[in-house]
Amino acid sequence: EVQLVESGGGLVQAGGSLRLSCATSGFVFDDYAIGWFRQAPGKERESVSSISISDGNTYYRNSVKGRFTISSDNAKNTVYLQMSSLKPEDTAVYYCAATKDPNINIRWGWSYNYDYWGQGTQVTVSS
């Protein structure tokens, strides 16, 4: 059974940091790319960042570049999203997802491209 389990969300003040974790199981980790998405109330889900496990290539939306860092621990089949300099507009439910798309360099931000999803973790940034 494929599982993706997010953790690490919480309430933080603007300018603070959080590290999200996405623990995966049930598939060959190295064959996939893992992405982080987020959805704020009343807004559409948007891509945040992705990492190709096999080659380590990473991708970020412009608004988080320089503030967020995605990484993986292949021994633990876990992907992390280190978030720093958080802003109130980062408030959302954050989801991790897995895709086997070989063209992840082009399609990393397409949510419908991902086959498996976690349940989400709430991140709230207060001003």
pLDDT tens, the chain, 127 aa long: 999 999 999 999 999 999 999 999 999 999 999 999 999 999 999 999 999 999 999 999 999 999 999 999 999 999 999 999 999 999 999 999 999 998 888 899 999 999 999 999 999 999 9
Could you tell me which residues are beta bridge partners of residue 52? 33
DSSP secondary structure, 55-111, as one string = T--EEE-GGGTTTEEEEEETTTTEEEEEE-S--GGG-EEEEEEEE--TTHHHHTT-G
State the pLDDT at residue 102.
Answer: 86
Q: Which residues neighbour 95 within 8 Å (Cβ) at sequence distance 6 or greater?
A: 6, 36, 37, 38, 39, 45, 117, 118, 119, 120
- In three-state secondary structure terms, 113 is helix
Looking at residue 107, what is its pLDDT? 92
